[in-house]
Structure 1
Amino acid sequence: MLVDQFCFSLDVSKLKEGSVVWQSPSNIALVKYWGKKEHQIPENTSISFTLNECKTITTLTFTKKKLTENFSFQVFLDEKPKPDFQPKISTFFKRIEAYLPFLKHYHFVIKTKNTFPHSSGIASSASGMSALALCLMSVEKLHNPEMTQEYFNKKASFLARLGSGSACRSIEGSLVVWGNHSEIEGSSELYGIKYPYQVHDNFNNFNDTILLVDKGEKQVSSTVGHNLMHGHPFAKNRFAQAEENISKLKSILASGDLNAFVELVESEALTLHAMMMTSLPYFILMKPNTLEIINKIWQFRNETGLPICFTLDAGANVHVLYPEKDEEKILKFINTELVAYCQNGHYICDKIGFGAKKQ
């Protein structure tokens, strides 16, 4: 699938070398994307909070070389060679070559680091691929300096999607929609857009405390998990449910109804894991401590009336969402009641942020 609006021709003779640096955050979906078509197209619309502190910082250095049939690049994580990243980046480059015709004209050195532990259950593919896409867009802008910021962001999101679907939601913030939804103006399955409507003050300055229940490698890759939605007996109903939940969330974000927000977000998280448990092959990514944390959150919310809720990605770790105004009480609860269920007592405090930044 070739998208003409993102294609361009160029003269590489003038730009010999250079270096760019971007930092890009992870994100946490409120309405989940699970299941995709060809070309990284989502089966349903999703919407996410962009995080602030959990981010990837990537430096891309490029040097002109003789044009060859192969891509030329090296990858470093925390200043150490990372050869196991090579296949994924090579696949990414193949997918985006039609949109970035300079790729085979340069040798790239990609140096990346995360502000959170790798394989901690935080979406490092989202932050990592979006950071790399932004760096590559900066190289394109050096070839095309008249490029608008709107086009830059849109194409960066488009490219990031081809590396990792959820990465397209990490370019901007604080709420990003991905998928073509009839009630969200400008929404697209090709890239994420900043949520275009007014949001009630109740949803400004939200916190996300990430409880690290299991810091190991994923048991099942996201690609495998998404592919298991093909032929899933409940897939059609799930996709329809997600579209309906986007409509519901739009109303919730406008009205400021925190109780309805809590109910929808937790339902979405549990539905995601229900789809995994009812696929063939089936799998369970939640751990016993995940369930202990969920039950503790429910009990605390019933006792205090505070609008605290959880959500989950495709893993065991728990994202605890709550308004900043309740931070003191909820952090006390986390430290008193929930830390015991975290691996080595580890958790990460984050807030909802405003997207990627060039350094």
Structure 2
Amino acid sequence: DIILTVSPLVSPHVYGNVISICTRRGFALQGIRQLQLSHKQAIVLSMTTSQSAVFCPGKTSSLPENSPVRRELSAESREHCLVLLLRKEDASHHILALVKGLMNELAKQGLLGNGQTNLPATAGLDPSMYFHVASYTENLLQMLGGSFSAVPDPCNIPLDFFCNRIFASDPEMEQVVLLTLVGLDAINSAGELLCQILLPGSNNPSQNSEGPDSGFELLGLKWLPHLTRRQAKEITPFEVGDASWQRSLDTLMSNPVLVCALRRINAFQVLEDALKRLTRCRELSESDSALQRVMALTPEVTFRQAILFFTEKDLVSDALSLPCTQGDEGAYNLQELKKADFLVFLFMLEQSEQFMRNGDLCCQNFSDFSDIC
């Protein structure tokens, strides 16, 4: 096993491409996490001083004034790295080829540096500023926060939490939706799928990135070796009594899954349309795709699923991903949603606080969270 760390220089919109390249090179995903690295963690990962300045927020002062990497960091506000736990036979012998492949393929698509695709991948780009690979050890995993598959304790959720709760759903506002990929085949094609929904116009340069077909914002990813029975009951698209219900639970409890938290305007309809289109392209039968790609169909279902998989540290908002639009006076617009992020309310749930202030937005109870959902 190896641990691949992707620096904040790589946009979350590109994470699907990163996963896809790793998968095509024979690496199997065993865990994934977005993490704000500390200087101590960078040392444990055996990063150089120059790398620490890039991978750890607030340490750009150690870079030369005329460094192109420093200028790029100054223009970005991202502080989180993507950390992947990957598995392959004799993985240590393939590290250099993996990093080279990532650099070449991303640069060729204009997804690194200044986005110039007419230059060689290595022109002005230092691979160590974008990717760092370390051999897996149990001690290293603990230094990075422990198991990447850890989930919240369901015992902390009050039994009456979902009673008499109203979940608003306005397609003209930002919505959070969960997509769960089930089984090895679905996870092996997860990178390709994320490419299609995070960067839908990547194959069409003339497409406006802020147009109606712009991609989703990726809030979080969680890989699990299998689901518990409680998690499976929330994820299955079948109802109790359906002929496929018990069989679907067995499948969910015996196969690896990748849970993706996504956000955009009109998220439910856009994702549903995208999955139908991609399913037709792959020529999957309806029965095959029903459990391979499962999306939460309503804000309430999204909320019920999210609290089973994600904590406040797992969900990271990308302030640069979506344009801010103004809503009606007194309504939550996109800027307010970024201030009162999805993760804040999950944090409130986990800590059972009565209220929490984030910026200039104060939430007195959990009903505000359901309004945003």
Q: Which TM-score applies when normalising by structure 1?
A: 0.27
Kindly indicate which of the two structures has a greater share of residues assigned to strand. 1
